[in-house]
């Protein structure tokens, strides 16, 4: 959500979009052009769209906007912390009791076997093992000391025959 001013104490602000529509008087902990991440007095987090509509109910212990209208949330219940990938209407796409981290278009989950699970933004397990995101759509993975590339669906895009692969956004 675009604004002309920056406030050091956003909790005392009322939020309006550029059309003048009132958005919220809740504490805003983060914002981008599409969403405000808000915090209630009971320390629960939710999201409001730039048109003022509630996107995600404020029921989460933490909530972070990641990419492509996808959020990462955590919730504690009975001493267990659940990490979830949540879509822009609050539906849980993927959930686990392990820690989840967002990296360059993918979510990583460290399993008890010390392997990383690479999860796409739509909640599908793309790869299990060591990998490096090349972009939000591609992972560089190693097999038999050679690297190749998988797309976000886990399909092989480049065969595992190279010593290294570098993703270049632009060429001169």
Q: What is the pLDDT along the chain (172 residues), one digit of tens a residue?
A: 555 444 555 556 777 777 787 888 888 888 888 899 999 999 999 999 988 899 999 999 999 999 889 999 999 999 999 999 999 999 999 999 888 999 888 999 987 666 789 999 888 899 998 899 998 889 999 988 999 999 999 999 999 999 999 888 775 5
d(CA 10, CA 172): 43
* Closest listed residue to residue 140, CA positions, set 126, 125, 122: 126
Please tell me what DSSP assigns to residue 10. Answer: G
Please report the pLDDT score of residue 14 as a whole number. Answer: 76
Please report the pLDDT score of residue 11 as a whole number. Answer: 56
Please report the pLDDT score of residue 108 as a whole number. Answer: 92
Q: Model's pTM, two decimal places?
A: 0.80
Q: Which residues on adjacent β-strands are paired with residue 107? A: 102, 119
Please report the pLDDT score of residue 99 as a whole number. Answer: 87
CB 17 within 8 A of CB 35: no
Please report the pLDDT score of residue 4 as a whole number. Answer: 45
């Amino acid at each position: 959500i675009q604004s002309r001013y920056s406030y050091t104490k956003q909790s005392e602000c009322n939020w309006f979009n550029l059309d003048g529509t009132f958005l919220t008087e809740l504490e805003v902990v983060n914002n981008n052009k599409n969403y405000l991440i808000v915090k209630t007095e009971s320390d629960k987090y939710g999201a409001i769209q730039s048109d003022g509509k509630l996107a995600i109910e404020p029921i989460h212990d933490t909530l972070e906007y990641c990419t492509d209208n996808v959020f990462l949330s955590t919730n504690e219940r009975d001493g267990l912390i659940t990490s979830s990938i949540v879509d822009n209407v609050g539906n849980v796409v993927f959930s686990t009791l392990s820690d989840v981290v967002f990296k360059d278009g993918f979510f990583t989950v460290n399993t008890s076997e010390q392997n990383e699970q690479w999860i796409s933004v739509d909640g599908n397990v793309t790869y299990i093992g060591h990998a490096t995101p090349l972009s939000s759509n591609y992972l560089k993975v190693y097999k038999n000391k050679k690297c190749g590339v998988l797309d976000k669906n886990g399909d092989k895009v480049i065969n595992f025959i190279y010593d290294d692969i570098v993703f270049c956004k632009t060429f001169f």
